């Protein structure tokens, strides 16, 4: 019997271990929490969500939405459980993070083919036939050094920031309105409105607020898709009005006009008792966060149950060390999955975990590993992170990753729809060809 290990029980590791277990393969799942935690995690639960509670849009015309559809075809555990514990969030799939991670932990801890080992992996064990490294962007310092030696290349890093969460009972709902952009959804976002004068006051406080200093040996390299709000603000006074505070597509029912600026609050749990500030990732010091964010009229008396924070995210240069199967080029029995590969976001991370688990299952059964078609969103992501380039920067699922259609379509929305149809068709066909390893059941 081949021995298999998955290191890391985050989103990718969870998917990988579950896929292997469903294929009847025994797997040791290593998780260092609670023995050793990270700057961002709060619990010892598997698949804990540390940033936003949103998995992004479920509309197939978005990169994230299309990837979710593909993952449903792949029988994704993460998406199934997310659907089960979703909370209202317009066209986005947001979850009750506590119930979500608790349920996933229960499934894996009680699966007959999964042996959970609660300890930090400092060096890779050599008694396994296959190892999947899914330790995520918060890989421990000890294992980071081991991976750096393993890959033979220098790690890059960027800083990812977490948005604050407030107690809904302390929000002044008279200072805004419920509604989704362009009338989509069912009014799941609360829009805190700001006048031009209020925005000016907030902006000046934001750009002068005291931040958590970086260590002397660290360099701030931010992922463009998740910039701290104060970093966005420093690019110009109006930058926020085209970013997280944009009023586009919103009309205040009290005035019948578009507000000058808005801060959107999204439900963190089904009951709506917790609300997160959308796009307000920050590295401001805690007292500064309370002072500055309370300048938003609706949050004047807000109780912040979770303040924003900053943590280091690590990822490898996959284009130099990985095959499209997610195997290492020089050590094919070792695979990587999740954000450590350079994909960005919950959904992309989870999807690579499915692929890594599927490929190890195939190899254990004497079959060749496989790669999804480049015309699928998963295939497009894998192609991006493994195609030779000078430097890899983290990438979200998006339609720019997919090849053009055979027939040119000028309408952007229609073009995305056709690419999405092609992706789903090709994914279904590819899955039929990956048997006898089964999907589902």
Query: CA 209 → CA 284, 286, 287, 323, distances in Å?
Result: 7, 10, 10, 44
Q: What's 375's DSSP letter? A: T
Q: Cα–Cα distance between 1 and 243 in angstroms, integer?
A: 53
CA 219, 123, 334, 440 torsion-angle sign:
negative
Residue 436 has pLDDT above 60, yes or no: no
CATH number at residue 339: 3.50.50.60
Q: What is the pLDDT, as a whole number, of residue 185? A: 74
Q: For 50-94, what is each residue's pLDDT tens digit? A: 878 899 998 999 999 999 999 999 999 999 999 999 999 999 999
Sheet holding 176-178, edge to edge: 176-178, 189-194, 261-267, 274-277, 165-167, 304-306
**Domain total of the chain:** 2
* pLDDT, the chain, mean: 91
Confirm whether 440 is domain-assigned: no
Q: Are 325 and 370 in contact (CB under 8 A)?
A: yes
pTM of the model: 0.82
Same domain for 178 and 215? yes
**Residue 154: pLDDT above 80?**
no
The domain in which residue 20 lies consists of 4-155+316-433
The residues with which 263 forms a beta bridge, in sequence order, are 192
Dist. CA 325–CA 332, nearest whole Å: 9
According to DSSP, the residues that pair with 277 across neighbouring strands are 265
Question: What are the tens digits of pLDDT across the range 31-45?
Answer: 999 888 877 788 889
The CA distance from 390 to 170, in Å, is 49
Domain endpoint, select from 249, 277, 312: 312
pLDDT band at 219 (very low <50, low <70, confident <90, very high): low
- Provide the token pair at 281: 């990732």
Same domain, 284 and 240: yes
343 shares its domain with 424: yes
* Within-domain flag for 439: no
Q: What percent of the chain has pLDDT over 90?
A: 71
d(Cα 363, Cα 335) in Å, to the nearest integer?
A: 12
Helix runs in 89-163, H state only: 97-109, 141-151
User: Is 84 in the same domain as 149?
Assistant: yes
Q: Are residues 111 and 179 in the same domain?
A: no
Pair 222, 363 in one domain: no
């Amino acid at each position: 019997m081949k021995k298999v290990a998955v290191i890391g029980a985050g989103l990718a590791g969870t998917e990988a271990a579950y896929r292997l277990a469903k294929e009847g393969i025994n797997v040791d799942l290593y998780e260092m929490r609670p023995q050793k935690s990270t700057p961002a995690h709060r619990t010892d639960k598997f698949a804990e969500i540390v940033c936003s509670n949103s998995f992004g849009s479920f509309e197939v015309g978005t990169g994230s939405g299309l990837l979710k559809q593909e993952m449903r075809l792949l029988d994704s555990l993460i998406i199934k459980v997310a659907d089960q514990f979703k909370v209202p969030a317009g066209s986005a799939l947001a979850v009750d993070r506590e119930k979500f991670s608790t349920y996933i932990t229960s499934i894996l801890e009680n699966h007959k083919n999964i042996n959970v080992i609660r300890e930090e992996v400092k060096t890779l064990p050599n008694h396994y036939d296959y190892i999947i490294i899914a330790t995520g962007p918060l890989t421990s310092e000890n294992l980071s050094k081991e991976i750096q030696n393993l890959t033979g290349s220098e790690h890059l890093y960027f800083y990812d920031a977490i948005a604050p969460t407030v107690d809904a009972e302390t929000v002044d709902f008279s200072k805004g309105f419920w509604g989704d952009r362009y009338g989509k959804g069912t009014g799941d976002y609360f829009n805190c409105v700001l006048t031009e004068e209020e925005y000016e006051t907030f902006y000046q406080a934001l750009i002068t607020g005291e931040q958590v200093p970086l260590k002397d040996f660290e360099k701030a390299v931010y992922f463009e898709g998740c910039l701290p709000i104060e970093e966005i603000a420093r690019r110009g006074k109006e930058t926020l009005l085209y970013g997280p505070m944009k009023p586009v597509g919103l009309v205040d029912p009290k005035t019948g006009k578009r507000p000058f600026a808005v801060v959107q609050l999204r439900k963190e749990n089904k009951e709506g008792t917790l609300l997160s500030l959308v796009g307000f990732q920050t590295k401001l010091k805690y007292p500064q966060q309370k002072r500055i964010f309370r300048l938003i009229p609706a949050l004047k008396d807000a109780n912040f149950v979770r303040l924003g924070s900053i943590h280091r995210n690590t990822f490898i240069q996959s284009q130099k060390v990985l095959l499209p199967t997610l195997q290492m080029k020089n050590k094919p029995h070792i695979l990587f999955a999740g954000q450590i590969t350079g994909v960005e976001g919950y959904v992309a991370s989870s999807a690579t975990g499915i692929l890594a688990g599927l490929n190890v299952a195939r190899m254990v059964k004497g079959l060749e590993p496989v790669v999804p078609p480049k015309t699928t969103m998963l295939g497009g992501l894998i192609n991006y992170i493994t195609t030779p380039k000078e430097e890899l920067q983290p990438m979200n699922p998006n339609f720019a990753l997919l090849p053009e259609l055979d027939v040119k379509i000028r309408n952007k929305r229609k073009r995305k729809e056709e690419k999405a149809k092609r992706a789903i068709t090709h994914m279904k066909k590819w899955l039929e060809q990956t048997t006898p390893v089964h999907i589902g059941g």
